[in-house]
Structure 1
Amino acid sequence: MTAIPLSILDLAPIPAGSTVTDALRNTVDLAARAEEFGYRRYWLAEHHLAPGVASAAPQILIGAVAAATERIRVGSGAVQTGHWTPLSIVEQFGTLDALHPGRIDLGVGRSGQRHAETLAREGRPGPEREASVVDGLLIPKPFDQRRLAGSPVLSLFRALLQQPGAETPDFAEQVEQITGLLDGSYRSAEGHPARATPGENADVQLWILGSSGGQSAQVAGERGLPFAANYHVSPSNVLEAVQAYRKAFKPSAVLDEPYVVVSADVVVAPTDEEARELASPYALWVHSIRSKLAAVPFPTPAEAAAREWTEEEWDLVADRIDTQFVGAPGTVVAGLEVLRRVTGADELLVTTITHDHADRVRSFRLLAEAWGLTGSGGSP
């Protein structure tokens, strides 16, 4: 079987001892290298209030990356619809498309809404499903969201990322408005049209990103849109997400058949041992996200080696660490092939974080060479 395309998800990580400027320059540099290596698309995440992540404004970063490249598709992975109105999203991405025609992906997700939902979860029963291995792919025990429900940071997100008193509409309604503004069919409840300029008739690809078999997967399937399932952050739910999407799928003007991208966290080095050392700070980084909802600057391997873990602390990050693909090129390719086979992915979305930028660039290069990418870039 011909290898499926690989793409990149970038958070613009800030290494310990580095700066935001360094991180953003590294992102632009990596994107140009990714185009040379043959990756299909380069997506920027949206993260807020995180000292170790510089991708708080992916729309701006997308413009910088698109300007520094020529062929690779560039987009969001994902715009958090809980923080933006459909019109603002369409106008922003319409502007990007006008500047870089035919290369822009608009990925949207419910992350901003899920923060608010998590506030109400405290006290509910936690997940009971145990870890399993499905045809060689580890499906870990679900992370218990009740651990986050009491965090004051969730309230802070809501206070700083939404206007006072604002209520986020239903996700399906937001996607319908985005679609209508893009294709010119939008009408208000009273029947009045709205014309997004820029935005209307923009040549952007609309994607839905999701971490479970819930509303995001349902909306993507019912509207016949491509869907990106999240193995690198919510690995326990990836199979139910892709299954729910395929079950709900209806052919559309966009797709005749389902199209699934699956994300994966990867670190590649010449040897398994070196890759494990480069990946070792990841546990500290994930712990900062899970315990404080704020990613710290990415630590050094030496800092990781000095850390002593309690059983409770390790349990907080185990699902993320156990589902990383870390090793020499052949080791990682074998693991990603299992992920592709079990999920039926049409494309894989790879994210890599190391303390040193050169190691991160090398990781993507080694993977591209081992996977057989040709440097063609392009789109589905």
Structure 2
Amino acid sequence: MTLSILDLAPVVSGGTVARALRDTIDLARRAEDFGYRRYWLAEHHFAPGVASSAPAVLIALVAAATSTIRVGSGAVQLGHQTPLSVVEQFGLIDALHPGRVDLGIGRSGQRRAELTAEARAGVPPQSRAAGKSAAPPPEPRAAEVVDGLLIPPPFDYSRLAQHPHLAHAVTLLQQPGARTPDFADQIDDVLAFLAGAHEVRAVPGEGADLQVWILGSSGGQSAQVAGERGLPFAANYHVSPSSVLEAVTAYREAFKPSDTLAEPYVMVSADAVVAGDEARARELAKGYGLWVRSIRTGAGAIPYPSPAEADAHVWTDDDRALVQDRIDTRFVGSPRQVAEGLRVLRRVTGADELLVTTITHDHEDRVRSYELLADAWNRP
């Protein structure tokens, strides 16, 4: 199976964190039965609608509840932790579930800290590109269709830099005065700890049979580091669809063979909702726009809305602009429609594997979506 799952342990409206965690464990068991290759857990903070704030803890619970599916992080944010603490956490899991654990690492925590520091210093968004760590604002660009795959205009994240939640990412997720090292140096430390090549031994962790991945949303440092270290790379079509082709191209161009990989290996993420027919799938997917809006305003993901709650929302033009790229790049429909759409995504990006994330208000609808997709994907 070349399909895997990314789960945020979503808390739905009217639900609880406990219910969300039980649903995650149930979905992982069912995903194993359906034949999915991996089950990854995200890391999100300050989000009432997401229970996956400590991926290592949740991965351990999922690993204990399953037996064959690979489990991992999508992704641990190294801007909030040290390489040693991450290696020790995942080394603990590997000790009890050897050969099944993926350590997916992201730079997003580091990037948010940099944006917040720049905002606090009064650096205007248009000037932040001058700094070493700052990304230039996106160039205006019309949507285009590349060999059947929609590439929407880039979303401008600079408007979120002033939001208080970004400041909280620095003051509450790190010790006072802590400074995150360069991402490349952190990855080198992770690899050294695992290989026993660091001057300090990580126990547990040293010698752990972990698959180390880098996740990225652009052709920037994450893609470069993954390629230069010869690590597998996961690109975010579901989070940043406008830059997915740049990300995979930068990774492949930077790739150098390693003891891990002789050739580049790419996984691409996608949002999908599958039901028996397109009308039913679109009904189940109604809450998505309102949920994305809550994230894009900077306030954090709200509990996932029901279709009725989504219907009650009065949309403004600004609302629609916030979420349009994410709405337009979801794969929603019948099993055949979604499978065909995902095959286009795989072909255009050259992905070796796809990472699918599905959220519905009702847990059984989400389970059924993954079941129908697995069945359609495996058909000739």
Q: Same fold (TM over 0.5)?
A: yes
> Contact conserved, 1:118 with 1:148, CA < 8 A, in 2?
no
Residue 129 of structure 1 and its aligned partner are, at CA, apart by 2.2
Report whether the alignment pairs 1:61 with 2:63: no
> Contact conserved, 1:206 with 1:226, CA < 8 A, in 2?
yes
> Match of 1:189?
none
> Contact conserved, 1:39 with 1:373, CA < 8 A, in 2?
no
Counterpart-to-counterpart distance in 1, 2:159 and 2:147: 30
Counterpart-to-counterpart distance in 2, 1:101 and 1:242: 29
Which of 364, 374, 377 aligns to 1:358? It is 364
TM-score, with length taken from structure 1: 0.94
Counterpart-to-counterpart distance in 2, 1:71 and 1:373: 22
Residue 306 of structure 1 and its aligned partner are, at CA, apart by 1.3
CA displacement 1:144-192 (0-9 Å, x = unmatched): 0122112121101111001111110000000000000000111xxxxxx
Counterpart-to-counterpart distance in 2, 1:21 and 1:55: 11
Report whether the alignment pairs 1:107 with 2:104: yes
> Contact conserved, 1:116 with 1:154, CA < 8 A, in 2?
yes
* Matched residue SS, 1:246: helix
CA displacement 1:315-354 (0-9 Å, x = unmatched): 0011111100000001101110110000000000000000
Report whether the alignment pairs 1:148 with 2:160: yes
Residue 117 of structure 1 and its aligned partner are, at CA, apart by 2.8
Structure 1 portions without partners, runs of 5+: 187-192, 375-380
Q: Which protein, 1 or 2, shows the higher relative CO under an 8 Å CA cutoff with sep ≥ 6?
A: 1
Residue 285 of structure 1 and its aligned partner are, at CA, apart by 0.2
Counterpart-to-counterpart distance in 2, 1:197 and 1:360: 38
Structure 2 portions without partners, runs of 5+: 127-136
Amino acid at match of 2:178: A
Change in 2 beyond 3 A, CA 1:373/1:225? farther
* Matched residue SS, 2:189: helix
Which of 278, 297, 303 aligns to 1:272? It is 278
Superposed CA RMSD in Å reads: 1.2
Residue 308 of structure 1 and its aligned partner are, at CA, apart by 1.6
Counterpart-to-counterpart distance in 1, 2:15 and 2:164: 28
Amino acid at match of 2:36: Y
> Match of 2:186?
174
> Match of 2:47?
50
Residue 128 of structure 1 and its aligned partner are, at CA, apart by 1.4
* Matched residue SS, 2:238: coil
Counterpart-to-counterpart distance in 2, 1:126 and 1:132: 15
> Contact conserved, 1:38 with 1:373, CA < 8 A, in 2?
no
> Match of 1:97?
94
Report whether the alignment pairs 1:204 with 2:201: no
Residue 293 of structure 1 and its aligned partner are, at CA, apart by 3.5
Counterpart-to-counterpart distance in 2, 1:250 and 1:25: 41
Which of 253, 261, 264 aligns to 1:247? It is 253
Amino acid at match of 1:72: I
* Matched residue SS, 2:192: helix
Residue 126 of structure 1 and its aligned partner are, at CA, apart by 4.6
> Match of 1:345?
351
> Match of 1:378?
none
Structure 1 vs Structure 2: percent identity of aligned residues? 68
* Matched residue SS, 2:297: helix
Amino acid at match of 2:26: D
> Contact conserved, 2:46 with 2:165, CA < 8 A, in 1?
no
> Match of 2:170?
158
* Matched residue SS, 1:292: coil
Residue 38 of structure 1 and its aligned partner are, at CA, apart by 0.3
Which of 331, 334, 359 aligns to 2:340? It is 334
> Contact conserved, 1:217 with 1:241, CA < 8 A, in 2?
yes
Amino acid at match of 2:98: P
> Match of 2:132?
none
Residue 304 of structure 1 and its aligned partner are, at CA, apart by 0.7
Which of 132, 138, 146 aligns to 1:134? It is 146
